[in-house]
Amino acid sequence: MSEVTLRQWLLSDAPTSRRHARLASLYKGWLSFRSNTMAMFGLGILVFLLLVAAFAPLLAPYDPFAQSLSNRLQPIGVEGHLLGTDSLGRDILSRLIYGSRITLYIVALVALIAPVAGLLVGTVAGYVGGWTDTILMRITDIFLAFPRLVLALAFVAALGAGIENAVLAISLTAWPPYARIARAETLTIRSSDYISAIRLQGAGALRIITKHIWPLCVSSLIVRVTLDMAGIILAAAGLGFLGLGAQPPSPEWGAMISEGRRFILDHWWVATVPGLAIFTVSLAFNLLGDGLRDVLDPKDSGQ
């Protein structure tokens, strides 16, 4: 099939199968997304980040853990160290490149755990209703009432410092908004005619929730996740900065800033460079999230 006919096939008004219709609507979404320059810019940065993380061993000029005390605190642009070296003489660029893996790992884990937990709680509360709803939503409210960073701090204090515990702590503070969204969606879907039709056909609650309600909640959750990613990255970096996330000598970006903080006045680049990396990535997620919201959820695009 040549490209022109593929395009026509995708844009046809009369889809011939369910798969055709789904692909066509995806393609139309992509077309409208593509016209959003800023969102494409964000997507570009994230694709770049993924590539960097995937090919870190090939891209990094040095071992991120290799110390060289005679070479410590070299400035930016020095021979052989493009972004300089830190207080132990480790190459900052290499650490930055390997650090992208940690950032992606944290974001991916939180982005899996929090929305799924929220989806479960929200759809069950919305579909079952009554006391279950009241109790589940009260619990959600309690978690929402906590200041997020402080709660994460307290959790990490109880669980012990480390990446996995930081992920857990951030997820524990991140799920309530998803539960709210999922519940709101469920409430509108629950009373629609086709759900009654399925119920009359004998479908049980489990089947209705998993097969018919979840798929419809997904798009608004995806938008929310993308917009939340920036917050997740900032929270993880904050925990790392406080020494409660990734532990040294791990090249986590927040921990790198915390290390460079001691030399900020004389050797500014050690703390500046990883901060720029965090900023770029969370900016990319924000841009992408805005773009996705316009495509998937036009009613609250704020435009």
Residue 11 C-beta: closest distance to other proteins, Å: 30
Q: Residues 24, 25, 31, CA angle at the centre, nearest 5°? A: 90
Nearer to other proteins, 128 or 161 (CB): 161
Contact range with other proteins by CB under 8 A, out of 5-13, 135-143, 204-212, 217-225: 135-143
Residue 135 C-beta: closest distance to other proteins, Å: 10
Residue 54 C-beta: closest distance to other proteins, Å: 24
Among 59, 117, 195, 234, binds other proteins (CB under 8 A): 234
Of 269, 275, 268, the residue nearest 254 (C-alpha): 275
Under DSSP, is residue 290 helix (H, G, I), strand (E, B) or coil? Answer: helix
Among 14, 145, 200, 206, binds other proteins (CB under 8 A): 145
Give the total of residues touching other proteins (CB under 8 A). Answer: 46
Residues in 247-286 at the binding interface with other proteins, rule: CB under 8 A: 254, 257, 261, 264-265, 268, 271-272, 275, 278-279, 282-283, 285-286
Residue 266 C-beta: closest distance to other proteins, Å: 9
Contact between 142 and 167 under an 8 Å Cβ cutoff? The reply is no
Both tokens of residue 58?
Answer: 């090939």
Nearer to other proteins, 23 or 117 (CB): 117
- φ/ψ (deg, to 5) at 81: -125, 95
Nearer to other proteins, 147 or 202 (CB): 147
Residue 162 C-beta: closest distance to other proteins, Å: 12
Which residues sit opposite 253 in a β-bridge? none
d(CA 141, CA 147): 12
Among 139, 184, 195, 203, binds other proteins (CB under 8 A): 139
Contact between 303 and 290 under an 8 Å Cβ cutoff? The reply is no
Of 281, 242, 245, the residue nearest 96 (C-alpha): 281
Contact between 257 and 237 under an 8 Å Cβ cutoff? The reply is yes
Cβ within 8 Å of residue 247, ≥6 positions away: 161, 162, 255
Say which DSSP state 211 is in.
I
Both tokens of residue 65?
Answer: 């853990």
d(CA 294, CA 126): 26
Cα separation of the two ends of the chain:
38
Residue 107 C-beta: closest distance to other proteins, Å: 14
The answer to whether 241 contacts other proteins (rule: CB under 8 A) is: yes
* CA 86, chain centre distance (Å): 29
The answer to whether 243 contacts other proteins (rule: CB under 8 A) is: yes
Residue 153 C-beta: closest distance to other proteins, Å: 6
To which H or E segment does residue 281 belong?
helix 269-296
Residues in 68-127 at the binding interface with other proteins, rule: CB under 8 A: none
Among 107, 213, 244, 292, binds other proteins (CB under 8 A): 244
Contact range with other proteins by CB under 8 A, out of 18-26, 49-57, 217-225, 226-234: 226-234
The answer to whether 147 contacts other proteins (rule: CB under 8 A) is: yes
Amino acid identity at 37: T
Nearer to other proteins, 111 or 209 (CB): 111
Footprint on this chain of other proteins (rule: CB under 8 A): 138-139, 141-143, 145-151, 153-160, 230-231, 234, 237-238, 241-244, 254, 257, 261, 264-265, 268, 271-272, 275, 278-279, 282-283, 285-287, 302
